Amino acid sequence: MQPEQLKVSDIDLLFREDADAGEYLLHRDVFRDEQVFELEMKYIFERNWVFVGLESQAPNPNDYYTSWVGRQPIVVMRDADGELGAYINSCTHKGARIVHHRKGNAKQFVCSYHGWAFNTAGECVYIKDKESG
């Protein structure tokens, strides 16, 4: 497919279905075409609920693990009260990655860029040099 020509309605051109014969074929562009990838990001990963893991992956208070939803880095955390939450793994100040390990247990995370700290409920609990302006 030509990237500049691909539309959502063109996706049907990439599939061949013959239910009577039990054939369901995908064109190889489904796996390698940049425009198909962009459409998947836009209409699947950026607009829908996405499964990010099992509750058992963070069984204890302050457990966490990181993953991706499309192009977005996320962190799934169980807070001190035992509630699960999923957050963009990015500081709200300058966008730097906050959690750098694949999984673990921590009561808070500190952004290495300016030192802002966040608890496992996703709340900013400390802003370095806030008192000095």
How do the pLDDT tens digits run along the chain, 133 residues long? 454 567 777 778 888 888 888 898 988 888 898 988 988 898 888 888 899 999 999 999 999 999 999 999 999 999 999 999 999 999 988 889 999 999 999 999 999 888 999 999 989 999 987 765 5
**Element holding 32 (H helix, E strand):** helix 29-32
Could you give all domains of the chain from N- to C-terminal order, each with its CATH number? 3-45 (no CATH), 55-126 (2.102.10.10)
pLDDT score at 3: 46
pTM: 0.74
Strand partners, 18: 23
Positive or negative, the CA dihedral 67, 124, 120, 55 is: negative
Tokens of 42: 């836009």
Task: Determine the distance from the C-alpha atom of residue 46 to the mean position of all C-alpha atoms in its chain, rounded to a whole number.
Answer: 9
